[in-house]
Amino acid sequence: MLRKSKKIEKVLILLPILILVITGSYFIHKFKSNQNIYKDTDRVMNTISQVLDLSTVKYNYTNVITVKKDKSINEMKIPFTEKSFIIKYNGIINGGVKPEDIKIVKNNGESIQIQIDKCEILDHYIDSDNIYVYDVKSSLFNKLEIQEVLDDINKYKKEYEEKALKEGLMEEIKRSTKTSIQNMLKNIGYKNVVVEFK
Residue 79 predicted with pLDDT over 70:
no
Give Dmax over CA atoms of the chain in angstroms: 123
Nearest to 167 by CA among 104, 116, 95, 71: 95
pLDDT (tens digit, 9 = 90+) per residue, 156-193?
899 999 999 999 999 999 999 999 999 999 988 899 99
Of residues 101 and 3, more confidence is placed in: 101
pLDDT band for position 74 (cuts 50, 70, 90):
low
The pLDDT value recorded for residue 125 is 92
Instruction: Please tell me the total number of residues recorded for the chain in this structure.
Output: 198
The pLDDT value recorded for residue 2 is 41
95 CB neighbour count, 10 Å cutoff? 25
The pLDDT value recorded for residue 152 is 81
pLDDT band for position 62 (cuts 50, 70, 90):
very high
Residue 71 predicted with pLDDT over 70:
no
Mean pLDDT, range 3-19, rounded to an integer: 48
The pLDDT value recorded for residue 52 is 85
Residues 50 and 80: their CA atoms lie apart, in Å, by: 57
> pTM score, two decimals?
0.68
Do residues 109 and 39 lie in contact, with contact meaning Cβ atoms separated by under 8 Å?
Answer: yes
pLDDT (tens digit, 9 = 90+) per residue, 106-147?
998 889 999 999 999 999 999 988 889 886 666 555 465 667
Cα–Cα distances (Å) from 83 to 29, 48, 87, 139, 184, in that order, read: 77, 52, 13, 6, 55
Q: At what angle do helices 169-187 and 157-166 cross, to 10 degrees?
A: 70
The pLDDT value recorded for residue 51 is 84
The pLDDT value recorded for residue 195 is 95
pLDDT (tens digit, 9 = 90+) per residue, 19-48?
544 544 544 455 444 554 556 788 888 888
What SS3 state is found at 179? helix
